[in-house]
Amino acid sequence: MLSSYLDSELEPERSGELEAHLIGCTRCSTALGYLREESQRIGSLSRVHVDDHAAHQLFALVGIDEREDEPPPPDSWHEERPEADDVEPWLEPQRARALPWQPLPKPQPMEPEHDMADAAMSGEPSFVSEQEDLFEEPYREPQPEAAEVEPEPAQPVAAEVHEPALPEPIVPAAASAEVADDYPGDPDIDATGYPAPFAPPEPRPVATGGVGRFFNRVRDSVAVRFALMRGAPADEDAVQIVSGGGAPSWEGRPVHRGYMQRMEQRRWNAPSQHPAAHVEAPPIQPGPDVDMEHEAPGRAVPYTSRSPMTSTATALATAPPDTHMGWDVSQPGGPARTAVGPGDLPGGDHPEAAGPDATEVHTAAPGRHMRTVTRGQNGGRFAGVGQFTTAVARRTGAQHGPSVIGGVDRRLWIFGAAVVVLMLIGVLVGKASSPLPAATVTHPAQTPAVHATSAPTAAPSVAPTTAPTSAPTPTPVPQGGPSALTDVVDLGTGGTGFDVAGVRYGVNGPRGYRLVFDMNPGARSTGAPDVRIGFGNATTLYIEFAGTVAAGSPQPAPGGGVVTALTLVQPSPVPGKIVYQITLTHNVNFIANYLDGPRLVIDLR
């Protein structure tokens, strides 16, 4: 209490009581003195001074500005308004960002003789002043005089309040010049003084480029398709996708079979919202205007509806042409049936009304393409590749239609036939064609020397394979033999009386093969016998000895070498000579020499 008394926070009554007590109580007076000293000690603490520069720096750091002498930026849209304390911001004469229309100009100060009636008579808008009064005074008596007075359209006096700085009003061409002079201000406010209806701002310009427009269209299309696919199966009968994704294809096959089936099933099972669908009408007796025999039995469409609702439309068959359906059903090629609700039936929806011979008319199937296919309404006309065939109709569930080819898709037949014809043509042309030209044979004869390395390449492997072809006129193969050798090498000194004692041959080295002919000279033999070595063909080497007698057939050649066979040709094709034929696996080069003995050595490489 003493502390509060010291701080003058006590109530006057309590303060008076305490002062009375302090007069007679030294203890409380002493305590009050201590408290006063302590308060003075704390109050005597040194102060901190912040100069202006530091204060500006602090405020700039915080983000507030205390400098009122500096004007705000000229383009600042939130510049301070002098009348901010008096008028609400949305009633300011200047346009605000949040207001789509420009508010009315601030009214002139109310003259003493000015009243609402005069304001209404002069056409001066009083919206602002009324609003301000409403804010100041919650309840206000109505002023029937001002409300009943209708503002007159034109007053010459009003032209005096015209402010030249304001833009010219937008007045329709039909409006008179008086109205334009009467109301000076805002183009958004018409001559009656009320703000014009809010016009939404112009939409943002969409990218008109090719790529941007394409993407926009694709995006919108996808969004619409998804929205329709989501919403249509649920509760919307009127929404049908007739093209694009989710719609039945052009040939009638639904792209989304589940969706189509759901639509059909729901349509069949859903109760009709038409009250006539639930009311059992009495049997209809055919009247004079209903011809039960109009629909010929031959025109009965064998389509069987899957819904009991469709039976309610059977009375359509009893209706004469051009009565309720809108077209003549007897017209050839015309529509055989139409989608008519039960409420459109002339005689009710009782299934027995149509009689036994009446054909059932099904209601609208989802998708006009589907309906076209199932009904055969194109009359056999060609309306596109694969649009309407029996196979398509059968695949899609249609029970009727022009039977062009029964049971099989015509396009499949055409495709198969084309494939077969192409195969036959290929076989025939292949048989009659000439064989492929033989590869160029590099005959060993073209090589001038025995040691040529390029002469005996690839020829031996090609020549034999080209012979057995089925060509009627096979290409001639060079006929080689002992009488026509190529790459001939002649050795010897013309000695006679020799005989071949033996022939040895085998692999000699990593890449070599050696043949050795041992000669036995006779009693009068001198020198070495003449020998001719040459190729009969690419893989046949002939060795012809003159003045020599063969001792016998040589042994079979061992495997693994270039020589596959070594035989003594008997009888000798060359008179006066013995001929050895060496069969090679491939074309090789050879080097022949006579050694002492004499001994003929042939190295094949």
Q: What are the tokens at 522?
A: 């006779």
The beta strands (E) that lie in 311-396 are given as none
Q: Least distance (Å) from other proteins to the CB of residue 339?
A: 50
Note whether 14 binds other proteins by CB under 8 A. Answer: no
Identify which of residues 60 and 419 has a Cβ nearer to other proteins in the complex.
60
Side by side, the strands of the sheet bearing 486-491 are 486-491, 531-537, 540-546, 577-584, 563-569
Strands 498-507 and 548-550: parallel
DSSP 231-287: HHHHH-SS----SSTTSBPTTS-BSSHHHHHHHHHHHHHSPPSSGGGGS-PPPPPP-
Q: Which two tokens stand for residue 11?
A: 């109530």
Please give the DSSP secondary-structure letter assigned to residue 91.
G
Q: Which is nearer to other proteins, 65 or 133 (CB)?
A: 65
Whole-number CA gyration radius for the chain: 61
> Does position 98 bind other proteins by CB under 8 A?
yes
Q: Where are the alpha helices (DSSP H) in 376-481?
A: 390-395, 410-432, 459-466
Q: Which stretch binds other proteins (CB under 8 A): 79-87, 350-358, 480-488, 556-564?
A: 79-87
Residue of 407, 363, 380, 372 whose CA lies nearest to 248: 372
Q: Is 62 in the site for other proteins (CB under 8 A)?
A: yes
The least distance separating other proteins from the CB of residue 163, rounded to whole angstroms, comes to 23
Beta bridge partners of 591: 603
Q: Which listed residue (26, 45, 204, 406) binds other proteins by CB under 8 A?
A: 45
Report if residue 111 touches other proteins, rule: CB under 8 A. Answer: no
Verify binding: residue 493, other proteins, rule CB under 8 A.
no
Site residues for other proteins, 286-305, by CB under 8 A, read: none
> Segment near other proteins (CB under 8 A), from 88-96, 116-124, 183-191, 530-538?
88-96
Structure-block tokens of residue 491: 């050795």
Binding range to other proteins, per CB under 8 A, among 60-68, 263-271, 346-354, 523-531: 60-68
3 binds other proteins (CB under 8 A): yes
The minimum distance between CB 63 and other proteins, in angstroms, equals 7
Contact in structure between 569 and 525 (CB atoms under 8 Å): no
Among 73, 75, 97, 142, binds other proteins (CB under 8 A): 97
Q: Is 61 in the site for other proteins (CB under 8 A)?
A: yes
From CA 582, how far away is CA 556, in angstroms rounded? Answer: 11
Pick the binder of other proteins from 42, 173, 385, 432 (CB under 8 A). Answer: 42
- Does 66 engage in binding with other proteins (CB under 8 A)? yes
Question: Which residues touch 65 (CB under 8 Å, ≥6 apart)?
Answer: 59
Residue closer to other proteins, measured from CB, 68 or 137: 68
CB of 66 vs other proteins, minimal distance in Å: 3
CB of 126 to other proteins, least distance (A): 23
10 Å Cβ neighbour count for 347?
Answer: 18
Say whether residue 44 binds other proteins (CB under 8 A). Answer: yes
Tokens representing 265 are: 């099933």
* Minimal distance, residue 123 CB to other proteins, in Å: 29
Q: Which is nearer to other proteins, 56 or 140 (CB)?
A: 56
Sheet harboring 548-550: ordered strands across?
548-550, 498-507, 513-520, 599-604, 590-595
Shortest CB 114 distance to other proteins, Å: 30
Residue 199 lies near other proteins (rule: CB under 8 A): no
Q: Does 7 contact other proteins by CB under 8 A? A: yes
Interface of this chain with other proteins, residues 22 to 41, rule: CB under 8 A: 34-35, 38-41
Return the range that interacts with other proteins (CB under 8 A); candidates 42-50, 308-316, 446-454, 482-490: 42-50
Q: CB of 184 within 8 A of CB of 166?
A: yes
Per CB under 8 A, 176 contacts other proteins: no
Nearest to 366 by CA among 238, 229, 222: 238
9 in contact with other proteins (CB under 8 A): yes
CB 290 within 8 A of CB 347: yes
Nearer Cβ to other proteins (4/469): 4
Whole-angstrom distance, CA of residue 269 vs CA of residue 306:
10
Binder of other proteins out of 20, 25, 55, 427 (CB under 8 A): 55
Does residue number 431 form part of the binding site for other proteins (CB under 8 A)? no
Which residue from 166, 156, 164, 90 is spatially nearest to 123, judged by alpha carbons? 156
Q: Which helix (H) or strand (E) holds 5?
A: helix 2-6
Query: Judged by CB under 8 A, does residue 4 bind other proteins?
Result: yes
Using rule CB under 8 A, residue 63 touches other proteins: yes
> Residue 545: which of 479, 480, 587, 592 has the closest Cα?
592
**Least distance (Å) between residue 127 CB and other proteins:** 18
Residue where the block lists tokens 């009710």: 348
Based on CB atoms, which residue is closest to other proteins, 19 or 163?
Answer: 19
Minimal distance, residue 51 CB to other proteins, in Å? 7
The CA distance from 584 to 564, in Å, is 6
Count of chain residues binding other proteins (CB under 8 A): 45
Residues in contact with 466: Cβ distance below 8 Å, sequence separation at least 6, in sequence order = 435, 438, 439, 474, 475
Q: Which is nearer to other proteins, 13 or 148 (CB)?
A: 13
**Which positions lie near other proteins, rule CB under 8 A?**
1-4, 7, 9, 34-35, 38-51, 53-55, 57-59, 61-66, 68, 77-78, 80-81, 84, 89-90, 96-98
